[in-house]
Structure 1
């Protein structure tokens, strides 16, 4: 089968959608399919054309207002010039889905939306509102829509009347389950992700004042770091918060495994990949009951918080620290790629 994946970005650029597209693409290629990726992330740091782990990658130039949407009209023209069996576009919140829909022709067209109904900032929210009519048209053009969570499926039905098949993100379970815990002088809590206000790291920092027995490690980079550092000083916990910046993939499993509790306090997500990674490493989680993170609260190894004030978060941390993880099976990327291939063939 000839498969064309269309995405905003692709590795070595990092992120949840980038990981999702790479994992399924490489596994489909390993099964003998001819897989090509069109991505809207051309730049000086990556070649315009390359083959990565059996996947042909072609990158297109464009621009990304507010760091989002990835406007690269050349993708639509390029899609029209190829004749794959399936075109699979990723991430409703970025215009390559629209460009893929415009160029799809008679090919089977599949969209994995990674939809969370909001964006990180006023500019992105305004752009998302303007985009909704054409974004909705692109979803209506799809032969199949895939959501990565039950919450996302419900949101797609409510916002667009779209019926989606749920196929969650996968995980290299063994990579995290076999990790040696990182050792530190004091027990620590952990947050992982981009440093933006909506990710909610500030709530973990403020809760630390009620958790004197713990330090907090924050893995990730972003423009919100100076504000987070100021919040740590104001809360009187700056000496117990360590900003690690970018953390290499090789270190992450051990960081998860060494933490007493992992905190995911984002105001919106379409899945919650870092929660899955922490659980696979044997670390229970505190998750905010917002967006798709609410789906994780059905598990015994996660404690949900509807409120993110310091008292609620600190109490949830102490409750989660007494729990074991993982308490239920986590999906692997092999499982996910098989289910995606079944959608292609249906």
Structure 2
């Protein structure tokens, strides 16, 4: 089968959607499929083509204010020229999905929106509001829609009136379950992710003043870094907050395994990949009851908080450290690709039946 993936960014760019597209693309190649990725992250160098682990990658230049949206009209023409059997577009919150829908013609079309409903950035939020009518059209153009969480499926039904199939993000489970814990002089709490205001790391920093027995390790980089450092100084906990920056994939499992608790207080998530990684490493979690993180509150080993105030976060950390994580529902990437292939074959079969 010839499969075309369309996504705003692709590795070595990092992020949840980037990881998702890479994992399914490389595994589809291993299963004998011909996979091409069209992405809008070429940067100032302009168009370039390469091959990464068997995947054909074609990078186009885009306009990306604030590193977001990736306006890239040339993707529509690139999709129109393809001879793919299936076109699979990702990430409602960026324009490549819309341009894929414009260029799809009569090809089979799958959409994974990774939809979280909004943005904490006011400019981005206005763009998303203006984009809603055409974005809704693009999602409804799909022959199949895939949600990565139950919460996302409900939101897609409410906002776009589509019935999505839930296929969660996958995980290299063994890599995390077999990790050797990082050893440090003091126990620590961990948070992982891009340093944006909506990710809520500032709330974990503020709670630290009431958790004197712990350090806080912050893995990730992003534009909110300087403000987080300022907050740590303001709260007089800067000596117990360590900003690790980007952490290599090989080091991350040990960081999870060594933590007494993992904390994520993000306002918007379509799934919550870092929660799955922490649980797989045997680390209990504190999650904000917002977006798809709500789904994790029913999983053993997770404590949900409705408020991000310290008087809610502090006791939740104490409660979490007494829990044993449940990893029985975590899917490996091979299982995810089984389900994705089933979606592809299903719409191809429906097409053949219509023609017959």
- Cα deviation for residue 328 of structure 1 reads 2.7
**Partner of residue 69, structure 1:** 69
**Partner of residue 141, structure 2:** 141
Query: Secondary structure in 2 aligned to 1:263?
Result: strand
* Maintained 8 Å contact 1:66/1:123: no
1:337 aligns to 2:337 (yes or no): yes
**Structural mapping, 1:1-346, within 5 Å:** 1-43=1-43, 48-346=48-346
- Taking a change above 3 Å as real, the CA distance of residues 327 and 73 of structure 1, as seen in their structure-2 partners, is closer
* Maintained 8 Å contact 1:6/1:89: yes
* Maintained 8 Å contact 2:46/2:61: no
CA RMSD of aligned residues (A): 1.1
- Taking a change above 3 Å as real, the CA distance of residues 84 and 270 of structure 1, as seen in their structure-2 partners, is same
330-339 vs 221-230, greater mean Cα deviation? 221-230
Cα deviations by residue, 1:178-227 (Å, 9 ceiling, x for unpaired): 11111100000000011111000011111111111100000111111111
Query: Secondary structure in 1 aligned to 2:27?
Result: helix
- Cα deviation for residue 327 of structure 1 reads 4.5
Counting matched residue pairs gives 346
Whole-Å separation in 1 of the counterparts to 2:47 and 2:284: 40
Query: Secondary structure in 1 aligned to 2:216?
Result: strand
Q: List gaps (5 residues or longer) in structure 2.
A: 347-356
Deviating 4+ runs (over 3 angstroms): 44-47
Query: Secondary structure in 2 aligned to 1:279?
Result: helix
Whole-Å separation in 2 of the counterparts to 1:182 and 1:314: 23
Whole-Å separation in 1 of the counterparts to 2:101 and 2:127: 19
- Cα deviation for residue 47 of structure 1 reads 7.5
Q: TM-score, normalised to structure 2's length? A: 0.95
Whole-Å separation in 2 of the counterparts to 1:125 and 1:33: 38
Q: TM-score, normalised to structure 1's length? A: 0.98
Query: Secondary structure in 2 aligned to 1:291?
Result: coil
- Cα deviation for residue 43 of structure 1 reads 2.6
